[in-house]
Amino acid sequence: MLDILYRIANKQIDNQLEGFEFVVAHVNHLIRKEAKEDEEYVKRFCEEKQIKFYCKSIDVLKLANNNKIGTEEAGRLARYQFFEEVMKETGSHKIAVAHNKNDNVETIMMHFIRGSGTIGLKGMEAKRENLIRPLIDCQRYEIEEYCEQKGLNPRIDKTNFDNIYTRNKIRNVVIPYLQQEFNPNIIETIDRLAKLVKVEEDYIDKQVQDVYQQIVVKEKKEFGQIILNLKKFNQQEKVIKARIILYTITRLFGNSCGIEKIHIEDIVKLCENNIGNKFLTPNKKIKVLVKNHQIYFISQI
């Protein structure tokens, strides 16, 4: 995979990719003093390879403060919003990001620590809708060795070594400790676990989608609303109820909107009590209302 990407960048396999084109989107988070140098580095690379380059500077710290979210989450939201904008502007079909196997394991461990359940243990997907991760099966050391072999000179984000962030603590402290004291192949071991979990989760997801089709009354996404049949929802097993809630919210917002286990339990109780015109607001983005034997999931954005 690395060699293919390198050859594409150097236009060595154009005859195999007739009509294929890719563009580069870069976000300057305005956090590090070296960020402008990184931006110029990517810009020069794209100019040399005759690749279209799109760049945006976003004050991520300000964004995080204004929305009362973590810096990492603010940066992620800003990046993907910009990637979507570039995809639409250029008529592109996929967004390719550089997550590798180490990133995936770090994410799984973060989910585990936060008690996300089995859904979080499957980690990042190689392909999800318009998003692809072509390097997800490569370990970080393989990428570094490849860059050295090809005489590449990648930029290093120095904040990766700052252990004030949870991910960095896992990357720089927890994983090295596990490798040294318990299992030197911990990255591969956790990756295998994620693949096993994914198979089971994909099966459960299919069951949830089938149940959803049976209990959905109306989808009015343009009005920020999805309505489910209350009686049919209450007839489901507890595990399916939880998944239906997450699935419905994801259909409405495109993600699970920060809904956690305690929120799901409160929504299930609200539905089981079946008292008219009662509602919950798990967060400022969503309202869940029980009314007229139906469950209303309403966007408040």
Q: What is the pLDDT of residues 22-74, one digit of tens each?
A: 899 999 998 888 899 999 999 999 999 899 999 999 999 999 898 888 888 88
Same domain, 205 and 263: yes
In a domain, 101, yes or no: yes
As beta bridge partners, residue 95 has 131
CB 143 within 8 A of CB 3: no
216 and 295 fall within a common domain: yes
- Give the total number of structural domains in the chain: 2
Average pLDDT, integer, range 287-294: 92
Mean pLDDT of 223-233: 93
The mean pLDDT of 210-235, rounded to a whole number, is: 93
Task: Say if pTM beats, i.e. exceeds, 0.85.
Answer: no
> Does residue 218 have a pLDDT over 50?
yes
Instruction: Give the model confidence (pLDDT) of 108-155 as tens digits.
Output: 999 888 877 788 899 999 998 899 999 999 999 999 999 999 888 888
Q: Band of the pLDDT at 175, cuts 50, 70, 90?
A: very high
Do residues 16 and 163 share a domain? yes
Q: Which of 181, 210, 227 is the last residue of a domain?
A: 181
How many angstroms separate the CA atoms of 69 and 90, rounded?
30
Is 193 within the bounds of a domain? no
pLDDT at residue 154, as a whole number: 87
Q: Is residue 19 over pLDDT 90? A: no
Residue 186 domain flag: no
H helix or E strand, kind and range, residue 55: strand 53-57
Residue 259 reports pLDDT greater than 50: yes
Percent over 70 (pLDDT), the chain: 92
User: Are residue 116 and residue 25 in the same domain, yes or no?
Assistant: yes
Does 190 reside within a domain?
no
Residues with Cβ within 8 Å of 146's Cβ and at least 6 positions away in sequence, in order, are 2, 3, 6, 152
13 pLDDT above the threshold of 50: no
For residue 87, the Cα-to-chain-centroid distance in whole angstroms is 17
| pLDDT confidence of residue 274 | 73
CATH number for the domain that contains residue 64:
3.40.50.620
Residues 152 and 238 in one domain: no
> CATH code at 232?
3.30.465.60
182: burial class by Cβ within 10 Å (0-12, 13-18, 19+)? exposed
Q: Which domain holds residue 209?
A: 198-299
Closest CA to 2 of 149, 155, 105: 149
Of 148, 181, 214, which marks where a domain is finished? 181
Considering the domain boundaries, does residue 130 fall inside one? yes
Please report the pLDDT score of residue 276 as a whole number: 66
Residue 67's alpha-carbon distances to 223, 226, 260, in angstroms, are 23, 25, 18
